[in-house]
Copies of this chain bind each other. A is one copy, B any other.
Amino acid sequence: MSNDLLIADLAGKARNASITLRGSSIESRRAAIHAIAGALESNVDEILAANQEDMNRERSAGLSESLLDRLELTNKRITGIVESNRKVASLPDPLGRILKSGTLPNGLKQNLVTVPFGVVGMIYEARPNVTIDASVILLMSGNAALLRGSATARYSNEILVKVMKNALTKTSISPEVIQLIQSDDRDTVRALLHARGKVDLVIPRGSASLIRKVVDEALVPTIETGAGVCHVYIDQYANLERAIPIIVNSKTHRPSVCNAAETLLVHSAISDDFLAKALHELSSRGVKLNCDAQSLKVAKRNKIAASMASSESWGTEYGTLEMNIAFVSNVDEAIEHINKFGTQHTEAIVSEDEPTIERFISLSDCAAVMVNTSTRFTDGEEMGFGAEIGISNQKLHARGPMGLEAMTTTTWIVRGEGQIRE
């Protein structure tokens, strides 16, 4: 079967299942998620065995340790996933929420209500936890899931989908709401991105090159996730005691994720002593420092290892313990730098001066502005969403962390008594 036919077939099954799913009660969706969670627990040995096969094969093939870490499932990780699934089931129903309501002068009553997208495709890399998380979040929001995981996790994904579908057979929700694209062929990604009218939305989660491919090729609606070149700006009116933990946390707490900071901007009125202390804290945690000319002098004077930043440094998402440092002469220059090199993800300011904070907020064009706190807080769990299917890096539809609500669209329901337009 050609990949276009394969996708059409799976999307068709998902579509049929989605039609009954959109009419299902919240109780039945919750029961289905609990059934899935229970089945994952009961089948943990089989799941871990399949995952070990993937791990062994990929380790032999030379997959990097950081990717192997993403691929690996453990008892503890499965427990965490299952707990988070049950938390999703406990959240309020995202469907049927009335967002707007009113009666028009002609007597028409109109409500804007939330409804599911229908069929949502996911394209993602190694991590098999996405197979479960996405299925559960999409099920809770009334959407059928069309999953295109990576060949790296093929056995893991197969067993997880088998366990979840099997669990659904004992519920009132059709197992067909979860569809796995079981093919290593990269062309299935293209076919999915071209499945116009068959798939309502595709969300890519993974590397910058995957996101770029999706943007270039997609004929279906997509939500970009991902790239984060985030900045921390230390203003002249900063509380310097607070500033250093915020810098260190933003960079080093989990450098591989998109809300980690890549660049530190420091107001030039701030003492060199502060910068020296900040650089020392970073350097002592293994952070490689790429400095502008002025901050490099401070580093050298204080015998802190640092290099000159290159022209590429400022726009690079390192994802590792590496950070750019620059002086700026005021908040406007900080914003100018951010608008030039940032990716409109998360920008932090440390300042006690309200007008400066307001100016930073009003000129920042990004998903989240952090005032006197770490960039790491742009996160669905931290923000209280209870679940996260990804962090949108676009302005359309959803911006920043996406939970259940982001997986819904709307319908106007207009009720009349025979009104017509004059």
Contacts and interface: CB of A to CB of B under 8 A. Distances in A.
Given A104-B383, A115-B365, A396 B409 contact: yes
Nearest to A24: B362
In order of increasing CB-CB distance, the 10 nearest A-B pairs are A373-B416, A242-B418, A249-B420, A395-B409, A368-B412, A397-B397, A376-B421, A371-B415, A221-B396, A396-B397
Contacts of A410: 399-400
Given A115-B365, A395-B117, A395-B409, A372 B418 contact: yes
Interface string A371-385: 111101110001110
B365 A418 contact: no
Copies in the complex: 2
A421 B382 contact: yes
B413 A369 contact: yes
A171 to B, nearest CB: 19
A250 to B, nearest CB: 8
A200 B395 contact: yes
A3 interface: no
A196 interface: yes
Contacts of A395: 117-118, 200-201, 221, 409
A363 interface: yes
Interface size class of A (residues with CB under 8 A): 35 or more
A35 to B, nearest CB: 23
Contacts of A304: none
B418 A373 contact: yes
Contact of A364 (B223, B376, B396, B411): B411
A212 to B, nearest CB: 10
Interface string A174-202: 00000000000000000000001000110
Given A22-B362, A397-B397, A377 B419 contact: yes
Contact of A245 (B19, B102, B418): B418
Interface of A: 19, 22-23, 102, 104, 108, 110, 115, 117-118, 196, 200-201, 215-216, 219, 221, 223, 239, 241-242, 245-246, 248-249, 253, 339, 359, 361-374, 376-378, 382-384, 394-397, 399-400, 409-421
Contacts of A373: 108, 414-420
Contact of A412 (B223, B363, B369): B369
A172 to B, nearest CB: 15
Contacts of A19: 339, 363
Given A241-B418, A374-B416, A378-B412, 12 more contacts: A108-B373, A201-B396, A242-B417, A361-B411, A369-B413, A371-B413, A371-B414, A371-B415, A374-B419, A377-B416, A377-B419, A399-B410
Given A394-B221, A395-B409, A416 B370 contact: yes
A394 to B, nearest CB: 6
Contacts of A372: 415-419
A383 B413 CA distance: 11
A362 B23 contact: yes
16 contacts: A23-B359, A196-B215, A200-B395, A221-B396, A242-B418, A246-B420, A361-B413, A365-B411, A370-B416, A371-B415, A372-B415, A373-B416, A374-B416, A396-B397, A396-B409, A399-B409
User: In this complex, which of A246, A339, A413, A420 has the most chain B Cβ atoms within 10 angstroms of its Cβ?
Assistant: A420
Given A249-B421, A363-B23, A102 B416 contact: no
A118 B418 contact: no
Contacts of A362: 22-23
